[in-house]
Amino acid sequence: MDGIYSVLEAILPLEAFRFDFMKNALLAVLLLTPLLGLLGTMAVNHQMAFFSDALGHSALTGIGLGIILGLRNDLVAMLVFGIIWAVMICLIKQSGSASTDTIISVFSSTSVAAGLLILARGGKFAKYSSLLIGDILAVTPTDLLYLLLALAGTVVLWIILYNALLLTSVDSFLARSRGVPTRLIECGFVVLVAVAVMLSIRWVGVMLINALLILPAAAGRNLARTSRQHAAWSVGIAMVSGITGLTAAFYLDTSAGATIVLISALLYAVSLMIRNIRK
């Protein structure tokens, strides 16, 4: 890690990045933002903007069930429950029994209520309240390894599934006529989002994860003219928001996650103005 730290100090010769915890946080941002930026583009295209919100809330339930089942690793509990929750949302959505926003709202409210019910027993919720806002400054080198593996896996699967995902989001009937297994593709995508959300939740927080997934993708959509430009803009805006927000949070002594989200919101407003000027 010393070599990586030296490179960061050379690229960003700021007082903030003299500290190892800030360097770890910066590396986490450089791994998290491309991951969420890529997945956010398809979440926007599939009109599932609040899907990550439902998954974020399910993290509370996952931890609660993990405690009941005696699991010592919170991350494993969150991942298992998050994937199950995501697949359930996908299957019910595909059944056509209700609109997507209704399904997501039902799952979101159910998961947060169940999580609070379990974790608040005996007044112990304060122990898990940090999950609501996250703490990216608490990232460790081991956490960075997990994020690196998640980013690498997502990029590989993105390359393999990109065309099928795009065609499914544009016209699912056309995709099926061309032999694309749309149901499997959609479920595979929501599992990817579930893994990304659960890996990010401890540092981003339940309250902010949806904004970080959607805002850069929404801003990128305002600026892009093609689907590939959309992905590029989304990743770029996410990374700029992450680096700028983390740096600003250090000097302003504010929450890093909240500052990153506000920077993303500002960039979305700018992209909206640019889109209107183009029109």
Q: Residue 112 domain-assigned?
A: yes
Q: Are 63 and 206 in contact (CB under 8 A)?
A: no
CB count, 10 Å around CB of 180? 18
Q: Are 241 and 260 in contact (CB under 8 A)?
A: yes
Q: Residue 23 domain-assigned?
A: yes
Q: Residue 1 domain-assigned?
A: no
Q: In total, how many domains does the chain have?
A: 1
Q: Residue 68 domain-assigned?
A: yes
- Domain of 26: which CATH number? 1.10.3470.10
Q: Residue 183 domain-assigned?
A: yes
Domain carrying residue 53? 18-205
Token pair of 45, please? 């295209």
Tokens 């806002």, located at residue: 133
Q: Residue 271 domain-assigned?
A: no
Q: pLDDT tens string for the chain (279 positions)?
A: 666 767 666 777 777 778 778 888 888 888 888 888 888 888 887 777 677 777 777 877 887 788 777 777 777 888 888 888 888 888 887 777 777 778 878 888 888 888 788 777 766 666 666 677 777 877 888 888 888 888 888 888 888 888 888 787 777 778 788 888 888 888 888 888 888 888 888 777 777 788 888 899 999 999 988 888 998 999 999 999 999 998 998 888 888 888 999 999 999 999 999 998 887
Q: Residue 94 domain-assigned?
A: yes
Q: Residue 191 domain-assigned?
A: yes
* One-character DSSP codes across 69-129: HT-S-HHHHHHHHHHHHHHHHHHHHHHTSS-HHHHHHHHHHHHHHHHHHHHTGGG-GGGGT
